[in-house]
Amino acid sequence: MKKLLMITVVLALVSGAAFAQISGDFLAASTIFQGTSEQKDADDNLFFNMGGSKAEGKWGIRFGEGAASGRIVYRLHDNSPWGWFAWRPVEQFRLKYGWDRDGEWGAAQISGWGFTAGAKDLVAFTDYGGGGIDGVARPGPMRGWAWYPGIGDGNHYSLMMSIFPIDGLAINLALPGRYDPARLPNINTIKTDSAYDAFTASREASLQLSFLHANVSYKLQDIGLANVAFVGDGGLGKDMEKKAGVGTLYASFFLTALKEMGIGEFDLGFNYHMPFKNAADIEEDGRMGVGLGYRINIEAFQLKLRAGANISGKTSTGDALPTLVGVQILPQYKFTALTFYFYAGFGMEMPEKGDTRSAWFINPYISVPIGGATFWAGLKVIQNPKPATGPHPINFSIPFGFSANY
């Protein structure tokens, strides 16, 4: 595999002078100090840790300017190749196949990846992973509470089709090559990666179609962008109607008309996880998510805000799901020599029975351009929800890093 990859890379580099655009992204980050407010002994709450918490090299070759185009990427830090190929014979039609780990069609215009952008790989709390109340304090699931997430990293190699019948209108359909196990909560046979892979390999056509991504977006000139989507959860597949949910509906609108008036931009999102009844005749109520993104620029100052709520519903065992609420802010100011950011968030979990739990974080950081690279440094302070027993610490760390791209 490695030899084949190297041959592909060499051929691409040789031919690149004629028709390719070569780009690269590099970053390295580490933690100087980290600790906790719960001190057990004299040296327990603060320690030195500079072992290269994250180091990544990613470069790509993007080729094609006409009907055919593609991208080849190789990430050094996890020995992970990926890429895609697209064919657009006419302006109204585009076919794409591959693994686009940067994502495709995601509807969150403010609250998604760009909220903290590349800082999340270096000094900001990440948008990825997390869950439950931990994810309320951290950004984790908030970006997925209301907006269509698109098709990307978790779907592996997928087939994507786009139709552009008129200016501003896009109709997108995709068959994912792999399904997120979290979207199959009631298939008890899926307990390991090998079992999951066997399941997806043996799926029938009706099952594959039941995981369809369908997305329509329409750009209204000088007003905004409307987006609706449906992501199947497998419940419409043969013999699957009592094992998995039908799917999730999404709707969002990105309002840009007020930007020139100095009011800013608004991104409103909504989703509805459709109800179903599983094999044990336990009904799962529909779950609903709502979200708001806001952004305003005033000369050297910018403010971003995202807020969301995941409301009610029941699990497949009949237990009521808690309502989750979270809000995060990110003001930033660009000085002559650096940009200062103050990232902060607060979240609550409100169960049907029991006490409300909360969590919070603050995450100030700076970026300093140095020639063709950027230096980053920051502070992370977070208190996760209070556990049923034991201490309730405040954890902190001081990260720093460098990034560069060409």
- Residue 71: what pLDDT? 86
Average pLDDT in the 372-380 region?
Answer: 93
> 251, exposed or middle or buried, with CB in 10 Å at 0-12, 13-18, 19+?
middle
Residues 145-177: b if buried by 16+ CB within 10 A, e if exposed: bbbbbbbbebbeebebebebeeeeebebebbbb
Greatest alpha-carbon pair distance for the chain in Å reads 69
- Residue 122: what pLDDT? 87
Whose tokens are 């699931």? That residue is: 141
- Three-state SS for 164-196 is CCCCCEEEEEEECCCCCHHHCCCCCCCCCHHHH
Whose tokens are 């996890």? That residue is: 78
Domain coordinates in residue numbering, the chain: 25-67+122-146+298-406, 91-111+147-274
What is the model's pTM? 0.83
Q: pLDDT digits over 187-227, tens only?
A: 444 444 554 454 455 456 666 777 889 999 999 999 999 99
Please tell me what DSSP assigns to residue 43.
T
- Residue 184: what pLDDT? 53
The topology (CATH level 3) of 25-67+122-146+298-406 is: Porin (2.40.160)
The share of the chain scoring above pLDDT 70, in percent, equals 72
The span from the CA of 348 to the CA of 308, in Å, is 11
